[in-house]
Amino acid sequence: MTEQIPPRWASETFWKKTAIWVTGGSFVLLVVLTFDSLAKISAGGPRVPAYSVINKDIGYRFDKSKQRYQPVIGDDAPLFGKSLSEEEAEKLVDLGKKTVQAKNCMNCHTLLGNGAYYAPDLTKAWLDQGWIAKESREQMMLNFLLDPEKNARTFGSNRKMPNLEITQQEAEGIVAFLKWMASIDTNGFPHNFRALGAED
């Protein structure tokens, strides 16, 4: 049988070159977009507020012009009644983030929708109506984190958070981290979320 020469578009060389150019081109584009995205999501930038936002009231409301939900930064509402400098706020949020990682929260919960699905999403946990009222929220969150067994919030599911030996300081850090995370502009995720105090 005589060997047939494939047309150019079906040849090995053509596809080799295509593979190289497509891969290179896509990667270069990704790098350019990465520079742009990182600039836009740095803390204090247009989409991710500075850590000191924990000194403010944070809401989540439907924006009619964008047709989606958006975080709304309001008046002063210092966390645990103490206004923090940018540096102090970052330190507290950092402690919270490290604790969330060290306690492996992400293998039950989701954060920004990523993680496991055994426990609720934490993206807007700060704003959840489960904390009943703004006045009681901080203390309820601390109590829950410090003794989740006694202060279990199972909503009839019998699923209880285990005691993760979280200290008072770490619990305050977690609350700060959750408050700051709730202020991130997540393009309307979660949708249709009725935040605590949104009815005001």
Partner 1 sequence: MTATTFQDKAAACWSGCKQRHAEFMANPHLSGGQKLAVHYFTVAMVLFMAQLLFGLLAGLQFLFPSFLYEILDFNVNRMVHINAMVVWMLYGFIGSVYWFLEDESGVEIVGLKWGQLAFWVLTGAVTLVVLVYLFIQFGAGNDTSLWLINEGREYIEAPRWADIGIVVVVLTFFYNVAATFAKGQWSGIAGVLVLDLVALAGLYLAGMFYVTNISVDQYWWWWVIHLWVEATWEVLVGCIMAWSLMKLLGVRRQIVQTWLYIEVALMFGSGILGLGHHYFWIGTPEYWFSIGGFFSALEPIPLVAMVVHSVYDSGVHRFKNSNHPALAWIIAHTFGNFLGAGVWGFMHTLPQINLYTHGTQWSASHGHLAFFGAYATINIAFFYLAAQQARGNVWMGGDLANGWRWKAAAILLNLGVLGMTVALLIAGYEQSFIERAVEGSTWAGYFAAQNHPWFMQAMVWRMVFGLMTAAGGGLLFWDLVEIGKGEQRPAAVIASQAE
Contact positions with partner 1 (CB under 8 A) in 55-114: 90, 93-108, 110-114
Separation CA 195–CA 67 (nearest Å): 17
For residue 158 the two structure tokens come to: 């019998």
Torsion of the alpha carbons at 185, 186, 192 and 197, rounded to the nearest 10: -40
Count of chain residues binding partner 1 (CB under 8 A) = 90
> What is the DSSP code string of 21-47?
HHHHHHHHHHHHHHHHHHHHTSTTSSS
- Binding mask 2-21 toward partner 1 (x if CB under 8 A, else -) reads -x--x---xxx--xx-xx--
The span of 43-51, 77-85, 137-145 binding partner 1 (CB under 8 A) equals 43-51
* Sites for partner 1 among residues 126-185 (CB under 8 A): 128-130, 153-160, 162-167, 170, 173, 177, 181, 184-185
The smaller minimum CB distance to partner 1, of residues 49 and 75, is found at 49
Separation CA 38–CA 35 (nearest Å): 5
Q: In whole angstroms, how close is the CB of 167 to partner 1 at the nearest point? A: 7
